[in-house]
Amino acid sequence: MLRSAALTWRGSALLHVDGKGMRLSVERISLLKCGRVFSGRWALRGVEATLESGKVYAVLGANGAGKSTLLRLMAGWLPLSEGRILLDESPMRPTAAHLRRKVMLLEEHTISKNGRSPKPTDNLCSAIQDYHVDQSDLEQEIAEWYDRLDVTSVYNKEERSMSKGQAYKIKLIGLFVVAPKVWLLDEPFSAGLDANGLKVLEEQLRMHAQRGGIVVFTSQWPEHARRLADWAMVLDEGRLAWFAPPREAPSPEARVSATSSLEAVLQGLGPE
Ligand SMILES: Nc1ncnc2c1ncn2[C@@H]1O[C@H](COP(=O)(O)OP(=O)(O)OP(=O)(O)O)[C@@H](O)[C@H]1O
């Protein structure tokens, strides 16, 4: 089905595959007083939490609350201004290439190199190389994903020739085939996925956690946390305002002097 030199190479395999076919074990991510400053202003400050294997976490909060910044720090895309992020015992930082391979962050927008419109399929192949994935049988697996997500017709097109949802589906295929232990998804439910894409995404998030992965997604809608997440992390102006199972009633303390944006998120959590 897919015939491309990019997908047929057979390089040296690296193979850090654990018993469940998931690459590079991580049992826990510890956020220790994490903070990040941009231009003299704290985008995130004092965030303390432990994320465990086998769980799905939803990060909620108003626009500008610090959700994307938190995911970028966890992925090692940005350095912390204070605090530490430990993957088990090892501190995540942008130079820690071996740790960054345990984690994949998907953002909706692709950063174009040299001002050109990137080809999502080329990015997928680069990810397979960057993450040192064993390539045996990969071509067939990728072809099956293209088929299942109904994007075979846009294979090898540039991103500007695709719809938003088609481009995002190819990023998801990269995530599914590379299958690092930690999945970080920034606003996946705003990425233009159709009903089938959403169904596959939701299934895969749950399955990845059941296999022992750690899944963290951001969303503007508390119902995504209620439906899909084991824990909800609510950020408010860079601070962690609430961290609990999404159907647990937020404490009165969390509501003291809450802004209307924070109150709207907390109202969307809690028991039905
Ligand atoms: N690269 C950057 N340079 C300067 N300021 C930044 C940068 N990235 C984020 N910020 C600032 O940090 C704060 C948090 O931004 P962030 O993107 O993490 O919020 P968010 O919760 O993801 O928001 P949204 O829901 O709108 O996507 C904002 O005030 C934003 O302006």
- How many domains are there within the chain? 1
Q: What are phi and psi of 158, to 5 degrees?
A: -75, 155
Q: Which of 136, 104, 119 is nearest to 21 (CA)?
A: 136
Joined together, the tokens standing for residue 231 give 């824990």
Which residues' Cβ are closer than 6 Å to ligand 1? Answer: 38-39, 43, 61, 63-69
Q: What are phi and psi of 57, to 5 degrees?
A: -115, 135
DSSP-derived secondary structure for 12-80: -----B-TTS-BS---EEEEEEEEEEETTEEEEEEEEEEEETTEEEEEE-STTSSHHHHHHHHTTSS--
Alpha carbons 125 and 47: distance in angstroms, whole number: 35
Å from CA of 42 to ligand 1 middle? 10
Q: pLDDT by residue (tens digit) across 152-211?
A: 988 888 888 889 999 999 999 999 999 999 999 999 999 999 999 999 999 999 999 999
The alpha carbon of 118 is separated from its chain's Cα centroid by a whole number of angstroms, namely 20
Q: Which one of 44, 68, 71 would you pick to mutate in the ligand 1 pocket, going by the greatest count of ligand atoms within 8 A of its CB?
A: 68
Ligand 1 atom having least distance to the Cα of 61: 21
* Residue 28: CB atoms within 10 Å: 13
Residue 206's contacts (CB-CB under 8 Å, 6 or more residues apart) are 56, 228
Helix %, strand %, coil % for the chain, to 5? 35, 25, 40
Residue 66 has pLDDT above 70, yes or no: yes
| CATH code, domain with 192 | 3.40.50.300
What is the overall mean pLDDT for the chain?
87
Å from CA of 72 to ligand 1 middle? 11
Which structural domain range is residue 262 located in?
A: 5-268
Q: For position 13, what pLDDT does the model report? A: 32
Reported ipTM exceeds the 0.90 cut: yes
Burial group, residue 118, by CB count within 10 angstroms (0-12, 13-18, 19+): middle
What integer is the mean pLDDT of 238-266? 86
Look up the pTM and report it: 0.90
